[in-house]
Structure 1
Amino acid sequence: MSIKTQVKPRQALQSIKPYTPGKPIWEVQRELGLTKVVKLASNENPLGASPKGIQAVQQFMAEIHRYPDADAKDVNAAIAAKLNLQSGQIIVTNGGDELISLISEAFLEPEDEIIVPSPSFTEYEFGARLMNAGVIAVPLNQDYGYNIELMLSAVTERTKILYICTPNNPTGTYLPKRDMEKLLAALPPRVLVVIDAAYSHFATADDYTDGLDYVREGYPVVVLQTFSKIYGLAGLRIGYGAAPEAIIGHILKVKEPFNVNALAQAAAAAAITDDLHVQASQQLNSDGREQLYAAFAALGLPFIKSMSNFVLVELGPESKRYYELLLTKGVVVRHGGLWGLPQHVRITVGTKEDNEFLITALQASMLEISKK
């Protein structure tokens, strides 16, 4: 005899869509029987993890029977020293995703609203929906740049948080410093600005800002950073936020005591000092972007020049078919349907060899589709 549950979830869950991650390599190998798979879907560092971070993990392994430091003091101190901030201006979290959830829990009431760019990272909306707050999506320009006037016009008495992802995921575009300053000057001081700078290390534009200067100047901003991208620690899940101490104090009230595991803390404290790995990753990414730009241009595929470690490419009405064909050839990319971009795919910049493998698979896919 089966028993049917009558437990009802919160009403807010009706408006929440679960996050869909990129397919892992092992899953594609298992499903399609492939021996070689190149994953260019999740914006991971193709150079791998920081060697200093790996060494720190290896040295700490014998201590994993102990609970981690609830306050992540060593990581906090390392971040503060690197960024010329005070320890009270830093909060260490289980990846950037947890920081977004904590910000939502700390500041949003059901009657509040957040403003998000569109398309952009979907977790901003997730955090707001979880708290029964409203979401106002402001479209990017046709060139996928930010429209500051449009964002400001969306501000109402209910606006509590405004998100800026720069460089933006999935477009790779960014908010120039002059526009950031215009935005911060025009916003009411009661509005918290979250500057998601997870991809900041890959930005090369002279007028780019990662937002940290505004933390130092006391603006009501939270800068989100992660160790998943440039430092290559995606599998350990650790990130951090930088903000004025009063804002950090509010967020700390909703943080769980052991939110970041001990190995992640050890790795991050070491990795943030690994300048050689950062520089090598940046060079690999810059070279890889140019390699992909040249290939896409030669194939006649429109793309957005990126300040990040991925490129948004337009493949047209057959975009989903391209995505599926690339999978069968051992290349995992990200289809744009998740962001309301059904004619696009987002492609992570890989090693030179990874990129060549993608380009060959893309050429073969184009040939197959043209014969249809």
Structure 2
Amino acid sequence: MNDIFLNRAARPIQKLVAYDPGHDLPRLRERFGDIIVELGSNENGWGTSPKAVEAVVKAARDSFRYPDPLGLGLRARLADKHDCSEEEIVLGNGSHELLMQLAQVFAEPGDEVIYSRYGFAVYPIGTRAVGATGIAVDPFPRDHAMPLGTDLSQIPKAITERTKIIFVANPNNPTGTHFRIEDLKALLQQVPKHIPVVVDEAYTEFANAEGLESAISLRREFANLVVSRTFSKAYGLAGLRVGYLVAHREVCELINRLRESFNVNLLGLAAAEAALDDHEHLARVREGVLTQRARIAEALTQLGFFVFPSQTNFLLVDFHRRAQPIEDALFERAVIVRPMVPYGLPNCLRITVGNPAETDRLIASLIEAKDAA
């Protein structure tokens, strides 16, 4: 970049490193064609609800019109789903946008933002973008029942008078680990009421662990609780970019001051409403993920790798040595996974739980890759 412009950018932006989306998948699709197996972005291997597809086709006829800037129809549906008011819901261009906006609303240079050391990359990016300081709390150790999982007990110890917002994910990306609702409640009881606690539930539809419940059940008890969700994963709408959060109406009003007027497009609004109605498709996706997740975990464990416990539609896998050669070998077989070097986990790969055919290819390719690498 030309230093003429770099030196004139806002100071936080000068030091900011952009979010890394992984491989250039459009180019890889051109290279590999139909044989590609995309297991690097935690997308839905069972696809989009047919009802959502139908709604998109119908809505496309009005694409010359602007979408509803307030997303009233979808917000009404979500308010009914979560037993809250429409004023307690904000829609986003994916939950990614909302997480960034929460940092913009509540933090500025000199402030501190707390998150887990192995949490979603957007938390530190949003923090740095506003010039705040990120405080990464240590996770559980490797020998814990929830290795590298978010240790909520460490968060109160990190709070200072400069703390402005806290980010946690349940289940967590990229580790796949989770925490119990009782532990979250214990944390909220210790956090000062003026500090928002954001619980990112992007993968909550895939969870089946005992004690893992949505934080939305605690929202009336804790006004500083913010819960973010997405339609990108279980609902299969990653390409349409629809997310939302549930929070105190004052928090929502502040975000709406910053939110772009038409941040969720016409097709996304229509698809999300229709997807909420297709309970059968969601059930098929969930059942498929749980079945294939167990199958992959067992196969990889038998191969001698360490598979982190997961409540998501992906698995974090430790290969006990640098994972780059194995990733390269998978890549040559058109199986695309996600390296974890940016997270400081060079021995690990994050692997999306795909459909049965994708699982077949993954396991066969890993057997070959293990021997070739």
TM bin (shorter chain) = over 0.9
Aligned pairs (5 A) from 1:16-35: 16-31=16-31, 35=34
Aligned to 2:186: 182
Are positions 1:200 and 2:204 aligned together? yes
Cα 1:65/1:179, change in 2 over 3 Å: same
Question: Is the CA contact 2:46–2:355 (under 8 Å) kept in the aligned structure 1?
Answer: yes
TM-score by length of 1: 0.95
Stretches of structure 2 that go unaligned for 5 or more consecutive residues are 142-146
Q: Distance in 2 between matches of 1:5 and 1:129?
A: 20
Cα 1:166/1:257, change in 2 over 3 Å: same
In the TM superposition, residue 214 of structure 1 has moved relative to its aligned partner by 1.9
Aligned pairs (5 A) from 1:22-171: 22-31=22-31, 35-142=34-141, 143-171=147-175
Question: Is the CA contact 1:82–1:273 (under 8 Å) kept in the aligned structure 2?
Answer: no
Q: What is the letter of the counterpart of residue 172 of structure 1?
A: G
| CA-to-aligned-CA distance 1:195-214 (integer Å, 9 cap, x gap) | 00000000101201221012
Aligned to 1:221: 225
In the TM superposition, residue 145 of structure 1 has moved relative to its aligned partner by 2.4
Instruction: Look up the SS of the partner of 1:6 in the other structure.
Output: helix
Percent identical across equivalent pairs? 34
Question: Is the CA contact 2:163–2:195 (under 8 Å) kept in the aligned structure 1?
Answer: yes
Question: Is the CA contact 1:106–1:253 (under 8 Å) kept in the aligned structure 2?
Answer: no
Are positions 1:351 and 2:349 aligned together? no
Q: Distance in 1 between matches of 2:179 and 2:274?
A: 30
Match of 2:267 among 241, 246, 263: 263
Q: What is the letter of the counterpart of residue 6 of structure 1?
A: I
Question: Is the CA contact 1:92–1:239 (under 8 Å) kept in the aligned structure 2?
Answer: yes
In the TM superposition, residue 106 of structure 1 has moved relative to its aligned partner by 1.4
| CA-to-aligned-CA distance 1:95-144 (integer Å, 9 cap, x gap) | 01110121112111212110010111111111111111110011211112
In the TM superposition, residue 19 of structure 1 has moved relative to its aligned partner by 1.1
Instruction: Look up the SS of the partner of 1:253 in the other structure.
Output: helix
Q: Distance in 1 between matches of 2:3 and 2:248?
A: 46
In the TM superposition, residue 65 of structure 1 has moved relative to its aligned partner by 0.1
In the TM superposition, residue 24 of structure 1 has moved relative to its aligned partner by 5.0
Instruction: Look up the SS of the partner of 1:225 in the other structure.
Output: strand
Moved over 4 A (4+): none
In the TM superposition, residue 151 of structure 1 has moved relative to its aligned partner by 1.4
Instruction: Look up the SS of the partner of 2:294 in the other structure.
Output: helix
Q: Distance in 1 between matches of 2:151 and 2:243?
A: 28
Aligned positions, number: 365
Q: Distance in 2 between matches of 1:128 and 1:74?
A: 32
Cα 1:5/1:138, change in 2 over 3 Å: closer
Segment drifting more, 329-338 vs 13-22: 13-22
Q: Distance in 1 between matches of 2:220 and 2:67?
A: 29
In the TM superposition, residue 77 of structure 1 has moved relative to its aligned partner by 0.6
Segment drifting more, 344-353 vs 76-85: 76-85
Match of 1:276 among 271, 280, 289: 280
Aligned to 1:342: 346
Question: Is the CA contact 2:188–2:222 (under 8 Å) kept in the aligned structure 1?
Answer: no
Q: Distance in 1 between matches of 2:172 and 2:332?
A: 29
TM-score by length of 2: 0.95
Q: Distance in 2 between matches of 1:146 and 1:108?
A: 22
